[in-house]
Amino acid sequence: MNSESSIRIAIHGASGRMGLEVLKAANARSDCAVAAALVRAASPWVGEALAGALGAGAPDLDFVSTLDPDTPVDAIVDFSTPDALATPLAMALERRVALICGTTGLKQTQIDALKDAAGRIPVLWSANFSLGIALLKRMAAMAALQLGPEFEVEILEVHHRHKRDAPSGTALALGRAIADARREAFEDIARFSHFGSSEPRRRGDIGFAVMRAADVVGEHTVMFASEGERLELTHRANSRSIFASGAVRSAVWLANQPPGWYDITDVLS
């Protein structure tokens, strides 16, 4: 943990779309600093100056494939791929620093590894670092609890054509928050397709619908419907910068927390 006011952040997956946004977001804040911009060893970005990506005012650093042992770090932010998760996790454990992970599409074994690491370091994994989404999770859980099982739940998510996982990790997180509020096992009530089914909708199910189109950054709608009325809670992301800002804010907060498993909603507390 850094006793000074500026939290030193290493960014893993720094040359990706989200990694670059995180670099910009961290560089724009006064309470943190970019300590390292990490990319894979075969990346053409290795050795390139951050100024080439961030422009004037960028830290005097190059993109690197390994974290220098002499580089002080308080938190590691990871936006890479599931196959690359082991690298930032090992670095965070070795340094005993906070790990903020926004990589989606993880296997259950990888989630378990992150939770195991939380016994030694502070860990925050989230499928979505939008603070608006964090509040939406709270609101959806509250609505589920107050409205009761007579209100049926459907979750619609819309993303750009390149998104690979479906439903999105955020949609699943919203569904889990609702299931937890109703004290139900998510796996028992999640329904991912109505296509081809002639059976009526089961009471208590949480339905999911997915759309992929053009360059949509991300939209999530939670619908509660009963006979005669419908409540819809919607969040629309117009820029990836909101996810980066949330991740950096989370890193600044998490760097000063004890070991444990944290959620993006904790950052709002």
Would you say residue 72 lies in a domain?
Answer: yes
Would you say residue 1 lies in a domain?
Answer: no
- Same domain? For 194 and 225 the reply is yes
- Same domain? For 195 and 64 the reply is no
Containing structural domain, residue 137: 131-237
- Same domain? For 187 and 99 the reply is no
**Catalytic residue numbers?**
159, 163
Q: What is the pLDDT of residues 94-125, one digit of tens each?
A: 999 999 999 988 999 999 999 999 999 999 99
Would you say residue 114 lies in a domain?
Answer: yes
Band of pLDDT at residue 238, cut at 50, 70 and 90: very high
- Same domain? For 146 and 98 the reply is no
- Same domain? For 204 and 135 the reply is yes
For the chain, how many structural domains are there in total? 2
The mean pLDDT value of the chain amounts to: 95
CATH code: domain of residue 145: 3.30.360.10
Q: Is the pLDDT of residue 239 over 80?
A: yes
Least confident of 4-13, 61-70, 95-104, 150-159: 4-13
- Same domain? For 155 and 27 the reply is no
Average of per-residue pLDDT across 53-81 = 96
- Same domain? For 194 and 180 the reply is yes
CATH code: domain of residue 78: 3.40.50.720
pLDDT of residue 165: 87
pLDDT of residue 196: 84
Would you say residue 263 lies in a domain?
Answer: yes
CA distance 195 to 191: 11
Q: Which tokens is 182 given?
A: 């109703």
- Same domain? For 16 and 112 the reply is yes
Would you say residue 96 lies in a domain?
Answer: yes
- Same domain? For 121 and 140 the reply is no
- Same domain? For 117 and 104 the reply is yes
pTM for the model stands at 0.84
Band of pLDDT at residue 76, cut at 50, 70 and 90: very high
Query: Whole-angstrom distance between the N-terminal and C-terminal Cα of the chain?
Result: 20
DSSP assignment of 189-223: HEE---TT--SPPPTT-EEEEEEE-TT--EEEEEE
Would you say residue 27 lies in a domain?
Answer: yes
Would you say residue 214 lies in a domain?
Answer: yes
pLDDT of residue 4: 52
- Same domain? For 117 and 17 the reply is yes
| Percent helix, percent strand, percent coil in the chain, to nearest 5 | 35, 25, 40
Would you say residue 108 lies in a domain?
Answer: yes
- Same domain? For 183 and 246 the reply is no
Please count the CA atoms within 13 angstroms of the CA of 210 that sit on its side-chain side.
Answer: 18
CA distance 198 to 215: 34
